[in-house]
């Protein structure tokens, strides 16, 4: 059965240009009604205009689809509520949220002003939290919701000069992990896209021939699978140039120390064992790690724990 979005309503933030525009068009081509959200700012977050969002709406309408533009600042709860209310008034519901809006203010940490750090974290993190909060009860009541957040290799792996952006993008993982657990019984799924795309944010950073390979249109198909009815849950999908992978956070098996050897020298001496990748595993939740350490510590000390 092919993936379609007929009868579904989607909100895509930062959808006036680049990756967001591609996402909005991709959803519309497969039948979704789309709210094209864009404040129309420059890459550093300055200025505003509705022209870009309006242009994407016209593209969608020209292909026979339905769309509306909204210039809500994604960090402003009142503006986002108005956007959600307008979408529900027009189409009766919202099913899908794609959080794509973002800005860059790159500098080394030594030269970065705290205001620039805070602004980037606000747009990326709170700009994902605020739309999600505006839709959360709606998704719960409808027992249906599909959410995609946008992270970056800068957050997952680091990138020189992007401490603000990297911190904000890493925060997407923590947000997704918790909302997956809280939304599970309401059929709300949350995933993350980690794109490498040729957009305004990457112009000047990569050679032209590489940018040609990394067009947003090579990434959007992956995003569409993450908001489908049968989407996976709690996946970080790396994407670029038509290539897709899963990014995972593992925990090594670890080493248990007895009370008589619990000191920094002993830990340093076993660092290779602590970091060994054999038998590493994915933790399904925070308490799984707690149980793991309690079990290891008890076994080391000959204590039998009650079976749960």
- Residues serving a catalytic function are 165
Cβ-based neighbour number of residue 264 at 10 Å: 7
Listed in sequence order, the residues at least 6 apart from 38 whose beta carbon sits closer than 8 Å to its beta carbon are 13, 14, 15, 16, 17, 20, 50, 52, 53, 56, 69, 71, 101
On whether the CB atoms of residues 199 and 216 are closer than 8 A, the answer is yes
Distance CA 147, CA 219 (A): 16
| 3-class SS letters over the chain | CCCCCCCCEEEECCCCCHHHHHHHHHHHHCCCEEEEECCCCCCCCCCCCCHHHHHHHHHHHHCCCCEEEECCCCCCHHHHHHHHHHHHHHHCCCCEEECCCCCCCCECCCCCCHHHHHHHHHHHHHHHHHHHHHHHHHHHHHCCEEEEEECCHHHHCCCCCEHHHHHHHHHHHHHHHHHHHHHHHHCEEEEEEEECCCCCCCCCCCCHHHHHHCCHHHCHHHHHHHCCCCCCCCCEEEEECCEEEECCCCECCCCCCCHHHCCHHHHHHCHHHHHCCCCCECCCCHHHHHHHHHHHHHHHCCCCCCCC
């Amino acid at each position: 059965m092919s993936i379609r979005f007929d009868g579904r309503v989607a909100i895509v933030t930062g959808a006036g240009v680049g990756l967001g525009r591609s996402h909005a068009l991709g959803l519309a081509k497969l039948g979704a009604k789309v709210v094209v959200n864009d404040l129309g700012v420059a890459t550093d977050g300055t200025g505003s205009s509705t022209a870009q969002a309006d242009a994407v709406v016209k593209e969608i309408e020209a292909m026979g689809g339905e769309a509306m533009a909204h210039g809500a600042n994604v960090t402003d709860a009142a503006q986002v509520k108005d956007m959600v209310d307008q979408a529900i008034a027009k189409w009766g519901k919202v099913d899908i949220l794609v959080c794509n809006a973002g800005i860059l203010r790159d500098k080394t940490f030594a030269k970065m002003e705290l205001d620039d750090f805070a602004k980037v974290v606000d747009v990326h993190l709170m700009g994902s939290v605020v739309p999600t909060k505006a839709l959360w009860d709606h998704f719960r009541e409808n027992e249906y919701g599909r959410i995609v957040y946008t992270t970056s290799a800068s957050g997952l792996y680091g990138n020189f000069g992007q401490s603000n952006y990297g911190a904000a993008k890493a925060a997407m993982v923590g947000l997704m992990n918790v909302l997956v657990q809280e939304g599970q019984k309401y059929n709300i799924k949350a995933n993350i896209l980690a794109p490498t795309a040729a957009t305004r944010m990457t112009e000047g950073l990569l050679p032209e021939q590489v940018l040609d390979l990394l067009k947003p249109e090579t990434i959007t198909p992956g995003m569409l699978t993450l908001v489908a009815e049968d989407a996976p849950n709690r996946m970080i999908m790396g994407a670029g140039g038509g290539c897709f992978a899963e990014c995972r956070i593992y925990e090594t098996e670890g080493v248990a120390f007895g009370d008589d050897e619990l000191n920094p020298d002993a830990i340093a001496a076993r660092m290779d064992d602590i970091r060994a990748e054999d038998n590493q595993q994915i933790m399904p939740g925070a308490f799984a790690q707690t149980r793991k350490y309690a079990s290891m510590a008890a076994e080391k000390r000959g204590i039998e724990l009650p079976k749960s």
